[in-house]
Amino acid sequence: GDVLLAVSTSGTSANVVAAVKQAAAIGVHTIALTGGSGGSLKEMADLCVNVPVEITPHIQEAHLWVEHLLCWLVDEILFGSFAVGGDD
């Protein structure tokens, strides 16, 4: 049930590509966040969220939004309703 979240602006970072290959070899599901053309990760990952632009800061800002959304979803699934602006 594990998932590897691979983040590479180019989709070709050697260490990230190697991690995805290893994860796939042991049966771990893979999700890639990429930019530009998606690089080799676009085809390797089980799911690829690609930001189809070439401007690195724009790609990274979009990745950050996706990462925050994933955190929110995990909180929601594990702990129930997510209270914004609660009494904490």
* 28: phi then psi, degrees, rounded to nearest 5: -85, 135
Residue pair 34/5 in contact by the 8 Å Cβ criterion: no
Dig out the tokens for 79 from the structure. Answer: 């702990």
Residues in the chain: 88
pTM of the model: 0.85
Give per-residue pLDDT as tens, 18-72.
999 999 999 999 999 999 999 999 999 999 999 999 999 999 999 999 999 999 9
